[in-house]
Amino acid sequence: MKGDCYEAAARFVIGNSRCPEIQLVHGEVTGQGPIAGIRYGHAWVEIGDAVIDPSNGRIVCARKDAYYALGKITGGVVRYSPSEARRLMLETLHYGPWEAPRKMVVNTDGLSVGTARGQGSELRTTRS
């Protein structure tokens, strides 16, 4: 199953852009469960010290420190205001990621398992 984190987080931020502290965040997390130990690009939403992760058909809410600890997020995150996110979506015609691509995702034993970032999630438009 292909994740929808970039699209879901971007849509959430744009849909709630009147919230004064809301930010779209891109970073690398370490997978849990079947993908335990695999680092990959991910997107989520931050409002102050709260994280909202609306990906894959569910909404996960957590304190920022707990979310960062669980995902082993140690830095390298990029935050976007709703207006910055909207501008980048219109310029690139996708939901992200917009920062420089990484070469490979590696698991904890150092074996590469695929590319970390592609061209991004394309914007889908409807025509009337």
C-beta neighbour count of 100 within 10 angstroms = 6
Reduce the DSSP state of residue 62 to 3 states and report it.
Answer: strand
Going from N- to C-terminal start, the domains of the chain cover 5-114
Type of residue numbered 57 = G
Does residue 118 surpass a pLDDT of 70?
Answer: no
Mean pLDDT for the chain overall? 84
pLDDT of residue 99: 87
Residue keyed to tokens 């690398």: 28
CB contact at 8 A, 106 and 112: yes
Counting beta carbons within 10 angstroms of the beta carbon of residue 31, is it exposed (0 to 12), middle (13 to 18) or buried (19 or more)? middle
Reduce the DSSP state of residue 51 to 3 states and report it.
Answer: strand
Q: What is the Cα–Cα distance from 121 to 20, expressed in whole angstroms?
A: 26
Interhelix angle 5-15/82-92, rounded to 10 degrees, is 130
In this structure, the strands spanning 78-80 and 39-47 are: unpaired
Record the pTM.
0.79
For 16-54, how does the pLDDT look when each residue is reduced to its tens digit (9 = 90+)? 999 999 999 999 999 989 999 999 999 999 999 999 999
Does residue 57 surpass a pLDDT of 90?
Answer: yes
Confidence band for 120, pLDDT divided at 50, 70 and 90 = low
For 59-108, how does the pLDDT look when each residue is reduced to its tens digit (9 = 90+)? 999 999 999 999 999 988 999 999 999 999 999 999 999 986 544 344 44
